[in-house]
Amino acid sequence: MPFQLSSLRTVFILLFLCYSISGFGQYGSKIQLDSISLADHPDSLYREDQIYFGLTFNAMADLPTGVDQSGFSGGIHAGFIRDMPFNQQRNWSFGAGLGFSMNVYNNTLFIGEDNNENTVFKAIDESEIDFTINRFSTFLVEAPLQIRWRTSTSKSYSFWRIYTGLKIGYIYYFKSRFKQTNNEVIQTKLNADLNRLRYGATFTFGYNSFNFHVYYSLNSFFDGQISKSTENVGMSTFKIGLMFYIF
């Protein structure tokens, strides 16, 4: 009997150890399988953080009477956008970024100041006044905010995309320049007459690196009035061009 009890205890202990080792092995296998599963599905961490660079033609809109766009007006835009997918497939996301924009607007609006340093706006009659340069430039810090759709995956970077949203900017430097023979007027301080806070609607559509980009300003540049008139200066912009994204 003692021998039989001892044998039974030995068998029981061996079975317990085998069960424990088997359970541990299954747990280890589960961890390994989970690791393999994650490795086989890299899309679970896929994002499209991007550096962007764009070139646009800047058309002017809402021009006051007697003011026209003259010559080529353009812009250069660059920055970084953080991509935040919000669906399981990760083809929809929210994008937020920070960038820089430099724009030039050639037109026939003269911007100067009177003896009291008040801003003066005048429409230039090209049939009466000869000039070689009349334009204003804006330098902005911008924050693009986008809802983004794309057909990309973590392994494919050639895909269709549609991005739409808002771009909020601030003009940190403004310069207008009028030049004619023996005369040049440069204005950089417009005080309350310049709307430094800018915001506009954006739409970007394209395939791979080349993307068609549109920006439409939702507020005007100026709050002042045309000299010797009750007409507001206003003026806004419509930008169209190409946007390039670098991963």
pLDDT score, position 44: 64
CA trace torsion 150, 152, 157, 158 (10° rounding)? -70
Indicate the pLDDT class of residue 186, thresholds 50, 70 and 90.
Answer: very high
Stated length of the chain: 247
* Same domain for 90 and 35: no
**Contact in structure between 139 and 119 (CB atoms under 8 Å):** no
* Same domain for 126 and 21: no
pLDDT score, position 11: 43
Average pLDDT, rounded, for the chain:
82
- Comparing CA positions, the residue from 226, 243, 205 lying closest to residue 65 is 226
* Same domain for 230 and 110: yes
* Same domain for 163 and 84: yes
* Same domain for 170 and 52: yes
* Cα distance from N-terminal residue to C-terminal residue, the chain: 78
* Same domain for 110 and 13: no
Fill in the amino acid letter for 238: F
Q: What is the CATH number of the domain that holds 122?
A: 2.40.160
**Contact in structure between 206 and 29 (CB atoms under 8 Å):** no
Higher pLDDT, 87 or 215: 215
* Same domain for 188 and 103: yes
* Same domain for 219 and 101: yes
- The answer, yes or no, to whether residue 209 has pLDDT greater than 60, is yes
- Structural domains in the chain (count): 2
pLDDT score, position 25: 41
* Same domain for 20 and 67: no
**Contact in structure between 85 and 49 (CB atoms under 8 Å):** no
**Contact in structure between 52 and 246 (CB atoms under 8 Å):** yes
- Comparing CA positions, the residue from 5, 27, 28, 24 lying closest to residue 16 is 24
* Same domain for 214 and 92: yes
Q: Are strands 222-225 and 160-180 parallel, antiparallel or unpaired?
A: unpaired
- Comparing CA positions, the residue from 59, 65, 60 lying closest to residue 225 is 65
Indicate the pLDDT class of residue 139, thresholds 50, 70 and 90.
Answer: very high
pLDDT score, position 154: 63
* Stated pTM of the model: 0.77
* Same domain for 87 and 32: no
pLDDT digits (tens, 9 = 90+) for 45-80: 777 778 999 999 999 999 998 899 988 999 999 999
pLDDT score, position 77: 98
Q: Which residues contact 142 (CB under 8 A, 6 or more apart)?
A: 77, 79, 98, 99, 100, 101, 167, 168, 169, 170, 198
* Same domain for 10 and 81: no
The whole domain housing 142 covers 48-246
Indicate the pLDDT class of residue 43, thresholds 50, 70 and 90.
Answer: low
